[in-house]
Chains A and B, each alone.
Chain A
């Protein structure tokens, strides 16, 4: 096993949500693509400031919801009309009694959509991920309290340890540090 550490990115700190917001705008305008802002709460308008596209999560949730609807419809029609038809008070079975099936159809659509929303969000975010190179940075603990950090990844086409450090300092970043993986 190699113990050699590889450069992972540059981390820098800002003092307020306002500073990090404007820093993100400058990084975006400068042409940086692979940088990330870490904040203790979501900052409104940050997606535009960073030049992020909207997430595709809603589409996933829609697909899950429709799957739930189909599951409920299938389950009820198959069990109550085909496998064990119960005729109560002369009420018709199968599609004829769809009205009675609506509550379960509704509930399962919601249930599956909720699974889609939560596990979709966790999955697309690549969580759970208990190891992350940013955690090596001692000051990073503040991020869930009142810290605002920007990390520029080595994968960014414009990345250059020297020049990027200078740029980050120019836009107001404090303590620009190299993080190794």
Chain B
């Protein structure tokens, strides 16, 4: 039982990181109808920035600074690269973001080198006993931070004027434009938000293990999460992220005994298998809006 609870907490912890990343994907998709494959690069860049800042200014100052810097970087990318592409097919823009991802990642990798960079987080691999179950502190911190961020984001979308504008653009760009909402600013803001969330997620992925050149692969796990939840549902992104984390963790714990024929490391691809199964049943994910076809 305690093995189950441990892997559940671990799953929720990593799942909350996927949720942060997935929120970024969904925020960009809702406002611009595009999937940004540049999220992995922003995540990596955030983690690297914290790793370089933390020894000087301390971990807790480095994280918000990194989030803001990466948000500014994402905003800059949107203005220079994505803005000329407005009105072009969504998949062409998505491919452009792959190009951006490659460029940002290669440049970032130059700052990592071949070693593993520690991010200077205060938790490391320390554990704490919670109701008789040993869990790593960093998973609890991840979960708590995600809850705070998610509540903040939902409040922002629900109560602020800017949030209202973003919801209007997500609902119908042309009508929003006609109501005097600056759609361009909303695009830029959603990229900045997604960049900041990715940087935050990157820091949490790197806690415990540190940053290496393969860290970005983790960000791709957020893709099954967004598909699972539905591309245009913020709540779905959170649920999908947590679900992916938990499934990955539980498969990692039990698959060796239950289904060894799937091979070791099946846990790493389990989210994708889960995604395929869900899509067979619900092509728009669990919470995604059904497309209405009109002629």
A binds B: no
